[in-house]
Structure 1
């Protein structure tokens, strides 16, 4: 299991610059971002949330994450797949989430696609194939020297986006998929000097 680097309480921790001074963003960076996640349902929830940030910042979605879990039945695909037009209309009135019809309908669509994929293969295995090696499911540790060395997308994220779209998942371009890969630990893009780099 991955472990966080121990940081002395007497030292000011060095973090990746993108999380800034926002306590919520810092906590997410310190304890979640880049830690490998393999559970299919948790990955489904994260993929849905990542797709919601299209055209927005991740902190916008992070601040609404609990509301999304509440609105979308804890991201239980079997329940979401039953959402109908009446439920969509209800969600469009929910000010605690992003009231974008296309994005709301995408989550419902993606729940159905998740069920179809999961009927044939574990969803976690399906996603992690993009970085699978002869040694198995291993995160790619990029160890970027600085944030300017972190790409917005990669051939692997483009391949994942292509596969997801082929299998019916919506709102997943190469850039969104790379952000997802970073978040779920498929790649470790904590910069080299970050005190919160995760060990494999």
Structure 2
């Protein structure tokens, strides 16, 4: 069967949703009101996600016990109760699949082994190459950097960029090698651009710096 993983993912989503419904049915009306956003998000994911995943992506989601929960949480983080657009689900799928923390935050399905090398840092170069056509609003050690899709291409080609500490008149040059070889600490898609925090490659035992804007990878 050519689309077997998509069929299996559809069935998994129905099972996940049925489990959520069972939990909701045991709640009081006030509790349900408090969970309205979560209920809405779960319904939207169940009804719309399958339009946004291909066979390879469906296989990836099947690595987890509850792919509906993963996408529900991501939908709440990025969209809340907003109107549903298929492109929003597409970006949410990219975001959770790019997130190194997904396998740490959500249980894998029985018998599934963690992805080898999933804790390896993702460099700025790798991240930009994975998201062609996107804009990037970045906080880097050299200051704030904003990349349009055109500027991102130039950066990948070796052109330096300007970073500033909050005031453009104090902007300083950041070389392509310096920025592209940093690792992505946080990344979140919002509308039509990625909000990112990058830093020098660090030992995995060190804690990542905090980001005042509250940007998270998942």
Do they fold alike, i.e. is TM over 0.5? no
Interval containing the TM-score (normalised by the shorter chain):
under 0.3
Question: Which protein is richer in strand relative to its size?
Answer: 2
TM-score (norm: length of structure 2) = 0.25
Relative contact order: is structure 1 or structure 2 higher (C-alpha 8 Å, sep ≥ 6)? 1
Larger Rg, first or second structure (1 or 2): 2
TM-score (norm: length of structure 1) = 0.26
